[in-house]
Structure 1
Amino acid sequence: MKQFSSNSLDIGHCLKEGWLQKKSRHINQWRRRWIVLDKKSSTISTFKHKEEYKDPTEHISMYALSFVMPLARVDSVQEESKEKLYASFCVHCTYGHTFEFRPVKGSRNRAKSRNESRHKENSDIEKYERQESTEMEESGEDLALPHEVHNEVIEWVESIQSFILSMYLNSSDFSIFVSPKCTTISEVDLSTQSKTPHPIKCLALEESLNRHEKPKKKKKIVKAIAVIIITAMIIIT
């Protein structure tokens, strides 16, 4: 196992890593970064170079995250008269910052080339698809993203969410709210500041309270009867 300086990560604790584009918070520019989900430090760290786990450009604490979700919108970038589409996901922190990520351009280009090669033998299909894409652009509809790009976004979102859930489930000061409206893991709303505990823990808490409440009520009744009897005996004497 490789070891680095104090400003480095132990690669044995990386749960997921890879190239993503991260939008800067100040000038809103997309920059290519090597992203690492680290178990030991419970952080998402960003680096300028691949597999060089030192001098991270940013640390995002898992304990500060309020939610992680894929964005409904699709980012379109006009470059060399060709429109490139990117799926994105955002990481929102409880202290107000939002970090946006998306797959790097290479992933989009590779997916596009693979998609085009499948239809290379049939020019009629290619012509039809180009015509359909043009019609969708003119109508303002979102173009369909290649499965490779979309799946990459979902994989990152699910990896981060799963890690956060496991982190808090194993925590003694666990306090997390999962919205009942959620239908998939990508829609889970995570809030470390919520006073409402996880439904499973909530049920367990209610059960434990009910178990202790009944004996307490019986003890109170017994004490009340004893006080009445003692008071009556004192009055009689």
Structure 2
Amino acid sequence: MMSESKKPLKLLRGVAVALMSLTVFFTLVGGAGTTCAAFGAEKFESMAALVPYKWLYQVLVVLSLAAGIWGIPVTVALVRGGRHAYRDALLVLLAGAVTSGIQMTASQLLRGDSAPANVRFYITAFTLVVFLLLRLPSIRDRLDFSQPFRGGKSSAGGAALVLCGILALTPSVWAGPTHPQAWIDVLRMPLMLGGGASLLGGVGLWLSEFLLSRNAQQRTSTVQNTI
């Protein structure tokens, strides 16, 4: 029988998956949101200082979107299990931290304001630190990302979907102060559709796990009563 110290840390793995999902979401949205500076800085007075450096922001858009898109199958692998899931997650997080860090620094120097790139950088850096801490000797032997996330898959997936859904449904709250309303309006419909589907999917996963757990308990109780 597996000792208590060797049992997988389901809660910690669920938190790691949720953080990874949140980071991938911000990486994708950050890459898409940077297009206003990368391809249309001259149209906005607040971005006039960025015009000579549009090439830099265009590179950051491509790299951020690439990292975000790659992060989707990597996040799935963290749940399903994969030989290189943990390594790939570190690479995605490192790419996200570097691109958001460069954008944050450039925006602060050029226009005196690093938002919202700073938020993306802090979230990515925090998630990267958490994943690095998972390699501590006292944790890594009990947390194997190469194996499927048994018994906690629905909880982790549901938490990630609900979190991303809430963010997708509230772009005016976290993007409104730093992005032109016209750009928010362009992305509003796909964000609303995707966010609504994500939120419903997450709640559905939680509900399905609750019902399965309840049915399992009822079957166990029935068997015990018949013995």
TM-score higher than 0.5? no
Q: Could you say which structure has the larger radius of gyration? A: 1
TM-score, normalization by structure 1: 0.24
TM-score, normalization by structure 2: 0.24
Greater per-residue strand proportion: 1
Greater per-residue helix proportion: 2
- Larger RCO, structure (CA 8 Å, separation 6 or more): 2
